[in-house]
């Protein structure tokens, strides 16, 4: 299949591109112009502003756009990019997909993306995804890397996560999104995975905070002390006892965390490993490295919810590192 590239659009009289390969051009795209150039995918090799002037219909197992450059903007202009897939069998084909060494600072906004067997939208780091209606995706609805912003989108009917965000050192921010009916491919994936809420979001499975509060949870599985710090989900880290003491400002994540029949929207009354803030002491340490020992001779901090004089809080105690406990995790 031939490919429509940024360099080739100069051959089309209806499209405009800046003469310099390094300058950002503005290209109007529609179904007729792409078909006339040889069809999908549109391969992007230079910074370009794309503006749709019609809906785009992409063949099966094919990408709409393949991004091999940074600083690309795709303005759907109220139109949609559609594939032929139905939810929710994972396969190949995305509306817009990053591929290559470069591909940062991509913006996609203002329209609809639906009916793709892969991730409907698969971008790299520092992306902006805004004001989209995304639905019927075989894998994830929106997938972005660190430093990205995902805001004001509706994501429905996905085989895996509705919004999947990676990047622990600079987690993506998400706000004002509504996500529902995720994990329909049989894996029961959460509506939102990773990232940090900049404001409230709505998820039908409770995996995001409608208030935008920092989330925390107690892992359902138990580990010895040498695995305490590496048992949290992406976007989360092991919580300290002082962070847990401020739990009135946090929101318990009932989708990721352990729940009991009578624990309601809060944490269960159970203990878990927590940072003692006195590293390497009281942190299951091997030498100077905390949370690396499972020896009976070493100790680690375990915290549990408690009510003291009518005031909810946490109490902490030291236990041998060969004991197994759940782990308290908190958003980065």
d(CA 279, CA 83): 53
What's residue 307's pLDDT?
84
CA dihedral 107, 206, 266, 315 (to 10 degrees): -40
**pTM (global) more than 0.75:** no
φ and ψ of 36, to 5 deg: -65, -25
What's residue 235's pLDDT?
75
Length of the chain in residues, anyone?
Answer: 332
What's residue 16's pLDDT?
31
Residue 180 buriedness (CB in 10 A; 0-12 / 13-18 / 19+)? middle
Q: Along the chain (332 residues), what's the average pLDDT of each consecutive run of 10 residues?
A: 37 31 73 96 95 98 95 97 91 93 85 98 96 97 96 97 87 94 91 89 86 89 93 87 87 88 88 85 87 94 89 89 96 81
Q: Tokens 């499972």 — which residue?
A: 294
Kind of pairing, strands 178-180 and 154-158? parallel
Q: Maximum Cα–Cα distance for the chain, whole Å?
A: 78
What's residue 209's pLDDT?
81
Reduce the DSSP state of residue 242 to 3 states and report it.
helix
What's residue 24's pLDDT?
63
d(CA 233, CA 251): 16
């Amino acid at each position: 299949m031939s490919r429509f590239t940024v360099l080739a659009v100069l051959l089309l009289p209806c499209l405009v591109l800046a003469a310099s390969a390094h300058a950002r051009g503005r290209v109007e795209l529609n179904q007729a112009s792409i078909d006339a150039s040889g069809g999908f995918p549109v391969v992007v090799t230079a910074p370009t502003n794309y503006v749709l002037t019609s809906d785009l219909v992409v063949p099966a197992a094919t990408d709409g756009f393949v991004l091999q450059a940074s600083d690309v903007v795709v303005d759907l202009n109220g139109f949609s990019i559609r594939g032929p897939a139905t939810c929710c069998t994972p396969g190949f084909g995305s509306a817009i997909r990053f591929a290559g060494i470069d591909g940062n600072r991509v913006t996609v906004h203002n329209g609809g993306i639906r009916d793709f067997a892969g991730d409907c939208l698969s971008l790299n780091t520092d992306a902006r995804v805004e004001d989209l209606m995304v639905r019927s995706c075989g894998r994830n609805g929106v997938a972005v890397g660190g430093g990205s912003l995902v805001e004001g989108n509706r994501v429905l009917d996905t085989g895996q996560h509705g919004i999947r965000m990676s990047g622990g050192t600079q987690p993506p921010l998400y706000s004002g999104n509504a996500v529902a009916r995720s994990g329909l491919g049989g894996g029961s994936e959460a509506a939102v995975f990773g990232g940090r809420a900049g404001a409230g979001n709505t998820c039908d499975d409770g995996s995001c905070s409608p208030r935008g509060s920092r989330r925390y949870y107690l892992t359902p599985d138990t580990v010895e002390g040498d695995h305490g710090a590496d048992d949290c989900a992406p976007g989360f880290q092991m919580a300290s006892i002082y962070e847990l003491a401020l739990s009135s400002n946090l929101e318990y994540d009932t989708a990721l965390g352990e729940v009991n029949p009578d624990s309601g929207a809060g944490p269960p009354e159970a203990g878990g490993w927590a940072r003692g803030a006195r590293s390497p002491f009281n942190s299951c340490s091997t030498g100077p490295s905390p949370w690396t020992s499972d020896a009976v001779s070493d100790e680690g901090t375990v915290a549990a919810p408690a009510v003291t004089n009518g005031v909810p809080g946490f109490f902490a105690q030291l236990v041998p590192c060969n004991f197994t406990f759940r782990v308290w995790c908190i958003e980065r």
